[in-house]
Amino acid sequence: MLAKRIIPCLDVKEGRVVKGVNFEGLRDAGDPVEVARRYDEQGADELCFLDITASHESRDTILDVVERTAAQCFCPVTVGGGIRTVDDIRRLLRAGADKVSINSAAVKNPDLLAEGAQAFGAQCMVLAIDAKRFTPYNALGGVDSEDGVPKLCKALGMGIREMLDWQQAMKKRLGGSSPMGKGSRWHVFIHGGRIDTGLDAIKWAQLGVQLGAGEILLTSMDADGTKKGYDLELTRAIAEAVDVPVIASGGAGTLDHLAAALTEGKADAALAASIFHYGQHTIAEAKAFLKAKGIPVREVP
Amino acid sequence: MAIAIVDYGLGNLRSVEKAFAHLGAEAKLVTSAAELDAAPAAVLPGVGAFGDGMAGLDQRGFSGPLRAYAASGRPLLGICLGLQLFFERSDEAPGVAGLGILPGEVKLFKGAAFGARGGLKVPHMGWNGLTFASSHPLFEGLEEGSSVYFVHSFYVAPGAQDTVLATSDYGGRFCAAAGKGAVAGCQFHPEKSQRVGLRILENWVKSLSA
């Protein structure tokens, strides 16, 4: 029986782990490779690096991290953050990543998913979606008070004309009335959950899979950071809408939360950060807990 | 002499190379049939599509030499798409002939045998347990049910039952490893299956000097 996966996620900036990881006996808790190795030893089912390096000059630091990780960790590795072109994907896969997760670059140019899948296979293309419950107050992020330019234009790196064309194109592709999707319950956000793209999260997930995404990494921006649990309703809605695996992310604070995402939320995998990073639980504890609840997990050998 | 890892233009060769390096086995990427022919044992890895895989092998002049390599009785290990390419044909690329080293075909998971998808997610992605069909040396020292990492939408359906080395369960039993004589292949990724996977590769390396 296929096991549900537990995936620790590390935020990496310029080749270093952001926010301290609290493990005993690590020589350098800031080295993502050391932390990855520890998780690998604990029996993590996969590892996920989210590269939040801002400066363009330092972008290659993640390649070095991936390469060193691949030499020591013999489990699947997903890398996300800052991936914009097929060439970015190629370089990460060549460095030893098994999958890449693509977020805002896919929103801006959905064909990137198709191009990546065509070149490297759908199995390595993960569509990362940051979703948030829609309220009229967060529609499209408003305009910049300095220059009056819609914030969505800035987030997408587009001029107004280009953004309107993009909206029209997305409206067609998502096959609906308005991309704002009347009756849409969750919208896709970009820029760390600050900017509403107006896209319906469920329709976007379906389009992404149709284009070539082999997996969805779904983060609830309402739940993220709260430690109050995953957004189960959202997770389930997406998991039932697509026929590829869905990784639940955002909000894990207890082992019960992991269990709920994998049962009620119908997720195939649960991603978590702080619950593992600060030594609150080990991966093995999480597995034992889930197993006791009758959830199929891979036992740590 | 180094184990040859056949480089035919598809990804994920690095991980296989690193796994062998970790085990202390000498392995190197080969890009020509001459290099392949000089190696005492070879690995056909691969992530990607069947059609692209065969095209890659053909373009680099590997198809004929790989068939000859297998026929000569030298050890050949296929991984994931590499295993699938050993077979005669695939649903993924109708009309494209596989290497035909093993009898049988490659099928899509949502086939009738799996009940019209019955809620199955494709690709089959993640860790799943192995049931061993025979006491093949590849699986020496492993417990029944050991989990390995799979990522695939197609599975091999061997034409001869005695070529099935292990099975796994995803909406029904499917072939997880197949082989005959010195040819063997895994649908899963041993190079991504932590201790269990490394043990399988180690067993294979050991079998080379036996």
Sequential pLDDT tens for chain A (301 residues) = 899 999 999 999 999 988 766 666 666 778 999 999 999 999 999 999 999 887 777 888 999 999 999 999 999 999 999 999 999 999 999 898 999 999 999 999 999 999 999 888 888 999 999 999 987 766 666 777 788 888 889 889 999 899 999 988 998 898 765 555 567 799 999 988 888 898 999 999 999 999 999 999 999 999 998 999 999 999 999 999 999 999 999 999 999 999 999 999 999 999 998 899 888 899 999 999 999 999 999 987 6
Residue A150 has a pLDDT of 86
> What are the distances in angstroms from CA A250 to CA A131, A216, A217?
10, 14, 10
Element (H, E) at A62: helix A61-70
Interface residue A64 vs chain B (CB under 8 A): no
Candidates A263, A249, A261, A259; CA nearest to A286 is: A259
Check CB contact under 8 Å for B126 and A75: no
Residue in chain B lying closest to A239 (CA): B121
**CB within 8 Å of chain B, chain A residues 209-228:** 214-215
Packing angle between helix A61-70 and helix A32-42, nearest 10 degrees?
30
Query: Could you give the percent of chain B with pLDDT greater than 90?
Result: 82
**Which of B20, B109, B128, B149 would best serve as a mutation to test chain A binding (most A beta carbons within 10 A)?**
B149
When CB atoms are compared, the residue of B126, B195, B198 closest to A3 is B126
What does the alpha-carbon distance between residue B51 and residue B167 come to, in Å, rounded to a whole number?
25
C-alpha B166/C-alpha B75 separation (Å) is: 18
CA–CA distances in Å: residue A251 to residues A111, B16, B59: 30, 35, 49
From CA A92, how far away is CA A80, in angstroms rounded? Answer: 10
The HSE-up count of residue A301 (CA atoms within 13 Å, CB side) is: 19
Q: Give me the residue from B14, B49, B128 closest to A3, CB to CB.
A: B128
Confidence of residue B9 (pLDDT cuts 50, 70, 90): confident
Using DSSP bridges, classify how beta strands B42-44 and B124-129 pair: parallel, antiparallel or unpaired: unpaired
Phi-psi region of B143 (alpha: psi -120 to 50; beta: other; left: phi over 0): beta
CATH number of B3-209: 3.40.50.880
Q: Are the C-beta atoms of residues A124 and A93 closer than 8 Å to each other? A: yes
A12, A53 Cβ separation under 8 angstroms: yes
Cα(B184)–Cα(B196) distance, integer angstroms: 17
pLDDT at B111 over 50: no
Distance from CA of A94 to the nearest CA of B (A): 7
Q: In angstroms, what separates the C-alpha of A124 from chain B's closest C-alpha? A: 9
Burial of A9 by CB count in 10 Å (0-12 exposed, 13-18 middle, 19+ buried)?
buried
> pLDDT at position B90, please?
96
Least Cα separation, residue A106 to chain B (angstroms): 21
Query: Smallest Cα–Cα separation from A272: which of A219, A221, A207?
Result: A219
Picking from A71, A75, A96, the nearest residue to B194 by CB comes out as: A75
* Amino acid, single-letter form, for residue B90: S
Stronger pLDDT, A54 or B175, i.e. the higher one:
B175
Give me the pLDDT at residue A300, please.
75
Collapse the DSSP code of A184 into the 3-class scheme (helix H, G, I; strand E, B; otherwise coil) and give the result. Answer: coil
Could you give the domains of chain A?
5-125+204-292 (3.20.20.70)
Q: Is pLDDT of B1 > 50?
A: yes
What is the model's pLDDT at position A20?
61
Q: Which residue is listed with tokens 């006491």?
A: B135
**From the centroid of its chain, how far is CA A176?**
25
Burial class (CB in 10 A: 0-12, 13-18, 19+), A249: buried
Find the largest Cα–Cα distance for chain A.
Answer: 58
From CA B173, how far away is CA B158, in angstroms rounded? 13
Calculated CA dihedral for residues A107, A64, B5, B193, nearest 10 degrees: -70
Within 8 A of A123 by CB-CB distance, chain B residues are: 47, 123, 125, 151-153
Cβ A1–B169 below 8 Å, yes or no?
yes
Residues belonging to chain B with any Cβ–Cβ distance to chain A shorter than 8 Å: 11-12, 14-15, 18-19, 21-22, 47-49, 117, 120-129, 146-147, 149, 151-153, 169-170, 189, 191-198
Beta-carbon separation of B125 and A3 below 8 A: no
Ramachandran region of residue A110, left (φ > 0), alpha (ψ -120 to 50) or beta? alpha
Number of CB pairs, chain A paired with chain B, less than 8 A apart: 98
Of all helices (H) and strands (E), which one includes residue B78?
A: strand B76-79
Annotated active-site residue in A45, A51, A130, A268: A130
Q: Is A5 on the interface with B (CB under 8 A)?
A: yes
Q: Chain B closest CA to A46's CA: distance in Å?
A: 9
Residues of B in contact with A122 (CB under 8 A): 123, 153
Task: Write the CB contacts of B139 (distance below 8 Å, at least 6 apart in sequence).
Answer: B130, B132, B165, B166, B200, B203
**B124, β-bridge pairs:** B152
A88 is catalytic: no
For B130, name the nearest residue in chain A, comparing CA atoms only.
A1
Percent helix, percent strand, percent coil in chain A, to nearest 5: 40, 20, 40
pLDDT-derived band of residue B114, with 50, 70 and 90 as boundaries?
A: very low
- Say yes or no: A244 contacts chain B, CB-CB below 8 A: yes
Phi, psi of B141 (to 5 degrees): 80, 0
Residue of chain A with shortest Cα separation from B20:
A71
Is residue B126 classed as helix, strand or coil in its secondary structure? strand
- Cβ contacts (< 8 Å) between A39 and chain B: which residues? none
Cβ partners under 8 Å of residue B100, min gap 6: B67, B87, B88
Within 10 A of B115 (CB to CB), how many other CB atoms are there? 12
For chain A, report the end-to-end CA distance as a whole number of angstroms. 17
pLDDT over 70 percentage in chain B: 94
CA A126, CA B50: separation in Å to the nearest integer? 21
**Is A120–B47 a contact, with Cβ atoms under 8 angstroms apart?**
yes
Q: How confident is the model at residue B115 (pLDDT cuts 50, 70, 90)?
A: very low
Q: Which of B123, B152, B192 sits opposite A75 (nearest CB)?
A: B192
Q: What is the pLDDT of residue A57?
A: 77
B interface mutation test: which of A298, A299, A300 has the most B CBs within 10 A? A298
Contact A301 B117 (CB under 8 A): no
Task: Give the SS3 label for residue A140.
Answer: helix
Yes or no, beta carbons of A123 and B122 under 8 Å apart: no
β-pairing, B164-169 vs B173-180, is antiparallel
CB B18 within 8 A of CB B198: no
- Looking at the predicted structure, is the pLDDT value of residue B116 above 50? no
Best CA proximity match to A193, nearest among A234, A239, A133: A133
Peptide bond into A296 cis (omega under 30): no
* Candidate from A3, A94, A96 with C-beta closest to B127: A3
State yes or no: is A60 an active-site residue: no
The pLDDT tens digits of the residues spanning B61-84 come to 999 999 999 999 999 999 999 999
